[in-house]
């Protein structure tokens, strides 16, 4: 059913209006005006938002959107890295199908017949508008947009990665030697993005990337508010991705002395006792790269991350304010989503890359469709990024594109507590040889397996152990849960995992 969520009153008005009209006019009147879509994306933002219960985060605009729409409490990325996550979401296919695991690949080179989300809307009469980071920096479905498409800089190699089943396993000794070389590398090679900065100069603030992304979104809304065709506007902010640069006013919202470090804070990446080595990469990928995090430096970095979140919130706020000012809210579906989560010092990790932990995989996800009955409520159900594509098609009454693997979340937008027995899956590939880790998330449990070097299993209890300090996978009391979730995990991942043969 395409519109299970349209209020009955609305349908009644349409029916009454149509009975008085001439047959040809009636056909047009029967058809509700297509909904616009405003899809707001944040980069590397975990659920440190007021709406998600964070004690310090100042995010009034996203919080307001959450009160207006449906907030998903358990939404997960399918891959904790920018381009693979976005490629999966924008093609409506799991990473086990895309097999795109890196930041320099363009899915269209491997699968020119796959229709991306913006292209599907373009093909069905929408004006498609892009501002900011959508697929990835240097990667774009250039032809999918009426305005804002950018030249691709990477990813025109048409060769997808080889089938992992055809590759020999990496010997453990070789893997350990690789890690040793990485750890011994020159610290000066850490990128300049490993830092924070509070910007004060007004001209510099105007020139910040996300300020410009928000300006462009506002300008698109003004230019297309009166169009007879609906718009599909994607707006991708790049914060709180490193470097943590934001206007000083957002740093001033936080006192560094209020920042409390996580209970499993460590100075450097640390595999907790009893967990598989593959669960934590030995070197951070975003912040504190090849350098220890002191408690003082860690608190300053977390404050900067929160400042960047408040800066994104401010940008989101002015785009939504323009939507309201133009009277577009009632016929626009607004989505807010982040491409993956992040670890801020938990287990010594400062990144998302390789994180199959709750902090790395859980994302903020809010949908406001003015027509649905669930608005103003939160959904505790487990949903995943691959569901976004089919959901938007369903809400907009567009046909389902071929090959789409996700599920429409329209039933949960209508009733956020409706039965929904679908786990979420997040995967990681360490060397682009197949999957080196998979986690399955149910409402009750998190269960992961790691393959190849550092292999092992972990079961954690997010209800009683939110920082995931106890691995229950080897505890006989949980053997039945492990067996059940392992079977679910392998049904999902079979044929794509790295060989564990020695």
| The total number of residues written for the chain in this structure | 502
Q: How far is the CB of 342 from Ca ion (least distance, A)?
A: 8
How far apart are the C-alpha atoms of 378 and 358, rounded to whole Å? 19
Q: Which is nearer to Ca ion, 86 or 303 (CB)?
A: 86
Q: How far is the CB of 155 from Ca ion (least distance, A)?
A: 17
Q: Say whether the peptide bond before residue 416 is cis (omega within 30 degrees of 0).
A: no
Instruction: Specify burial of residue 241 (Cβ count, 10 A radius: 0-12, 13-18, 19+).
Output: buried
Give the binding range for Ca ion (CB under 5 A) out of 79-87, 314-322, 367-375, 451-459: 79-87
Q: Which is nearer to Ca ion, 286 or 449 (CB)?
A: 286
Footprint of Ca ion on residues 310-349 (CB under 5 A)?
A: 339
Give the binding range for Ca ion (CB under 5 A) out of 37-45, 167-175, 264-272, 312-320: 37-45
**Residue from 70, 82, 107, 139 in contact with Ca ion (CB under 5 A):** 82
Token pair 């007879």: residue: 228
Q: Which two tokens stand for residue 130?
A: 């892009």
Q: Which is nearer to Ca ion, 322 or 339 (CB)?
A: 339
Q: How far is the CB of 87 from Ca ion (least distance, A)?
A: 12
Q: How far is the CB of 112 from Ca ion (least distance, A)?
A: 25
**Residue from 34, 38, 44, 62 in contact with Ca ion (CB under 5 A):** 44
Instruction: Specify burial of residue 147 (Cβ count, 10 A radius: 0-12, 13-18, 19+).
Output: middle
Q: Which is nearer to Ca ion, 45 or 481 (CB)?
A: 45
Of 438, 463, 467, which Cα lies nearest the Cα of 76? 438
436 with 419: CB under 8 angstroms?
no
Q: Which is nearer to Ca ion, 284 or 497 (CB)?
A: 284
Element (H, E) at 1: none
Q: Which two tokens stand for residue 314?
A: 């401010």
How far apart are the C-alpha atoms of 235 and 134, rounded to whole Å? 7
DSSP-assigned letters across all residues of 366-413: EEE-TT-TTTT-EEEEEEEGGGHHHHHHHHHTPPPPTT--S---HHHH
Q: Which is nearer to Ca ion, 43 or 449 (CB)?
A: 43
Give the binding range for Ca ion (CB under 5 A) out of 9-17, 44-52, 278-286, 287-295: 44-52
Q: How far is the CB of 246 from Ca ion (least distance, A)?
A: 16
Give the binding range for Ca ion (CB under 5 A) out of 25-33, 75-83, 378-386, 442-450: 75-83
Q: Which residue is nearest to Ca ion (CB)?
A: 82
DSSP state of 225: T
Q: Which is nearer to Ca ion, 82 or 217 (CB)?
A: 82
Q: Which is nearer to Ca ion, 86 or 299 (CB)?
A: 86
Q: How far is the CB of 136 from Ca ion (least distance, A)?
A: 8
How far apart are the C-alpha atoms of 81 and 351, rounded to whole Å? 9
Q: How far is the CB of 395 from Ca ion (least distance, A)?
A: 25
C-alpha dist (Å) from residue 376 to 257, 368, 372, 396, 414: 34, 9, 10, 21, 11
Q: Is 141 in the site for Ca ion (CB under 5 A)?
A: no
Q: Which 3 state secondary structure label does DSSP give 10?
A: helix
Interface with Ca ion (CB under 5 A), residue total 4
Q: How far is the CB of 332 from Ca ion (least distance, A)?
A: 25
C-alpha dist (Å) from residue 7 to 3, 13, 67, 369, 419: 9, 10, 19, 12, 21
Element (H, E) at 352: none
Q: How far is the CB of 82 from Ca ion (least distance, A)?
A: 4
314 with 240: CB under 8 angstroms?
no
Q: Is 286 in the site for Ca ion (CB under 5 A)?
A: no
Q: Is 43 in the site for Ca ion (CB under 5 A)?
A: yes
Q: How far is the CB of 358 from Ca ion (least distance, A)?
A: 17
Q: Which is nearer to Ca ion, 437 or 456 (CB)?
A: 437
Q: How many CB atoms lie within 10 A of CB 467?
A: 17
| Binding footprint of Ca ion on the chain (CB under 5 A) | 43-44, 82, 339
């Amino acid at each position: 059913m395409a519109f299970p969520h349209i209020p009955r009153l609305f349908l009644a008005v349409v029916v009454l209006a149509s009975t008085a009209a001439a047959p040809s006019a009636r056909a047009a009147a029967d058809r509700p005006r297509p909904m616009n879509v405003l899809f707001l994306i944040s980069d590397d933002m975990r659920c440190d938002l007021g709406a998600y219960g964070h004690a310090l985060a100042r995010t009034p605009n996203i919080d307001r959107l959450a009160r207006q729409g449906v907030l998903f409490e358990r939404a997960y990325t399918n891959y904790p890295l920018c381009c693979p996550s976005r490629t999966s979401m924008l093609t409506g296919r799991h990473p086990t199908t895309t097999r795109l695991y890196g930041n320099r690949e363009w899915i269209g080179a491997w699968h020119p017949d796959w229709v991306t989300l913006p292209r599907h809307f373009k093909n069905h009469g929408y004006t498609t508008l892009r501002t900011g980071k959508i697929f990835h920096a240097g990667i774009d479905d250039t032809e999918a947009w009426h305005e804002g498409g950018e030249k691709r800089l990477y990813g025109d190699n048409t060769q997808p990665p080889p089938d992992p089943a055809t590759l020999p396993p990496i010997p453990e000794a070789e893997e350990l030697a690789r890690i040793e070389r990485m750890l011994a590398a020159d610290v000066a090679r850490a990128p300049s993005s490993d830092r924070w900065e509070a910007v004060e100069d007004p001209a510099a603030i105007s020139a910040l990337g996300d300020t410009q992304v928000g300006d462009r979104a506002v300008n698109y809304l003004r230019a297309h508010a009166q169009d007879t065709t609906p718009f599909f506007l994607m707006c991708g902010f790049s914060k709180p991705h490193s470097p943590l640069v934001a206007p000083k006013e957002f740093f001033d919202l936080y006192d560094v002395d209020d920042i409390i470090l996580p209970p499993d804070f460590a100075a450097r990446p640390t595999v907790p006792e009893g967990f598989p080595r593959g669960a934590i990469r030995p070197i951070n990928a975003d912040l504190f790269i090849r350098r220890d995090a002191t408690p003082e430096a860690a608190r300053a970095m977390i404050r900067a991350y929160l400042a960047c979140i408040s800066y994104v919130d401010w940008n989101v706020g002015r785009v939504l304010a323009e939507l309201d000012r133009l009277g577009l809210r009632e016929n626009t579906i607004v989505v807010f989503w982040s491409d993956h989560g992040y670890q801020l010092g938990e287990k010594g990790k400062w990144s998302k890359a390789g994180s199959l932990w709750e902090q790395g995989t859980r994302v903020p996800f809010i949908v406001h469709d003015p027509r649905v009955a669930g608005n103003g409520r939160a959904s505790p159900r487990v949903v995943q990024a691959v569901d976004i594509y089919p959901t938007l098609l369903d809400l907009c009454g567009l046909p389902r594109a071929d090959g789409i693997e996700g599920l429409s979340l329209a039933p949960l937008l209508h009733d956020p507590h409706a039965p929904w027995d679908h786990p979420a899956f997040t995967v990681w590939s360490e060397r682009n040889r197949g999957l080196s880790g998979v986690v399955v998330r149910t409402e009750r449990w998190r269960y992961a397996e790691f393959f190849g070097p550092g292999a092992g299993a972990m079961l954690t209890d997010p209800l009683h152990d939110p920082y995931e300090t106890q691995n229950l996978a080897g505890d006989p009391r949980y053997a039945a849960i492990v067996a059940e979730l392992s079977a679910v995990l392998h049904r999902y991942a079979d044929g794509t995992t790295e060989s564990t043969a020695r």
